[in-house]
C-alpha cells in the first residue's frame, strides 16, 4: 500500500495536487497543510492513504503521519467517509480539530462545510475513545510521558506536540493552576489537557 509519494509538483488547485513520480502522474486530495507544502515545479513529499469505495479509489495526501493518523480515526465515525474526513482537515489544522472534539465544541465543527449538527455530535461522542490514551492514540511523542515531570508539565508538552505554542499555553496553565487545583496529584495529564483545550477555545 502507498505510504508516501515523493516527486515534482505538476499542479496545485485548491487542495488537489498532481505529483509527477518518475514519469507517473498521481492526483491527490490533500489537507490544507499538505497542499501548502506543494509548489508547482518543486519537489514535495506527501504522506498518503489509498482508499477504495464504491465510487472507486481515492488517493489522499497529508503533511505528516499525525494528520494521516487523525484522518484514519475520523473515518471510524459512523457517517464520516474519506472525503468528509479530508474536508474536515482541509478546513482546519489537525490540532484545532482535536481541540474542538476534546472540548465537545460542536458549534465550531458545524462551521465546516458538510458537517451538520448530528455529525458533529457523533464526532465528539465517538472520537472521545481515542483520547483515553493520549500518549498513543493522538500520536504524542513518547518523551511526553517521561518520568520526573509533573502532570501539568506532561500535559503542556503533550499540547506542544499537537502544535500549540508555548506562549499561548503558559497563561492558560497558570490560570488553571490558580483557579482549579491546588495540588498536582488532583488531576491526571489527560484531565489537564481537556481543561486546557476548553480554556484555549474561550480565548
**Cα–Cα distance for residue pair 19/129, rounded to 1 Å:** 36
**Cα–Cα distance for residue pair 115/15, rounded to 1 Å:** 18
Residue carrying C-alpha cell 506542544:
160
Encode the chain (203 residues) as per-residue pLDDT tens digits: 678 999 999 999 989 999 999 999 999 999 999 999 999 999 999 999 998 877 778 999 999 988 998 999 999 998 898 999 999 999 888 888 887 887 788 888 999 988 999 999 999 888 877 665 443 344 444 343 333 457 777 777 777 766 677 777 888 888 887 776 544 456 777 788 888 888 887 76
Which helix H or strand E contains 89, and what residues bound it?
helix 82-91
Cell numbers describing residue 160? 506542544
Any residues with CB less than 8 A from the CB of 49 and at least 6 apart, and which?
2, 59, 60, 62, 68, 71, 72, 82
**Cα–Cα distance for residue pair 3/48, rounded to 1 Å:** 5
Amino acid at each position: 500500500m502507498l505510504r508516501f509519494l515523493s516527486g515534482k509538483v505538476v499542479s496545485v488547485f485548491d487542495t488537489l495536487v498532481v505529483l509527477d513520480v518518475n514519469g507517473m502522474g498521481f492526483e491527490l486530495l490533500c489537507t490544507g497543510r499538505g497542499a501548502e507544502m506543494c509548489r508547482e515545479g518543486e519537489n514535495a513529499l506527501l504522506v498518503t492513504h489509498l482508499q477504495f469505495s464504491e465510487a472507486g479509489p481515492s488517493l489522499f495526501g497529508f503533511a505528516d503521519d499525525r494528520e494521516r493518523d487523525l484522518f484514519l480515526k475520523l473515518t471510524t465515525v459512523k457517517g464520516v467517509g474519506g472525503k468528509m474526513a479530508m474536508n474536515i482537515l482541509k478546513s482546519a489544522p489537525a490540532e484545532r480539530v482535536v481541540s474542538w472534539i476534546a472540548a465537545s465544541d460542536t458549534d465550531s465543527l458545524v462551521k465546516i462545510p458538510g458537517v451538520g449538527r448530528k455529525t458533529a455530535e457523533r464526532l465528539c461522542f465517538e472520537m472521545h475513545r481515542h483520547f483515553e490514551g493520549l500518549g498513543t492514540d493522538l500520536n504524542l511523542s513518547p518523551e511526553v510521558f517521561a518520568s520526573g515531570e509533573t502532570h501539568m508539565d506532561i500535559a503542556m508538552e503533550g499540547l506542544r506536540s499537537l502544535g500549540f505554542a508555548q506562549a499561548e499555553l503558559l497563561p492558560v496553565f497558570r490560570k488553571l493552576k490558580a483557579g482549579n487545583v491546588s495540588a498536582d496529584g488532583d488531576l491526571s495529564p489527560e484531565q489537564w489537557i481537556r481543561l486546557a483545550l476548553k480554556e484555549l477555545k474561550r480565548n
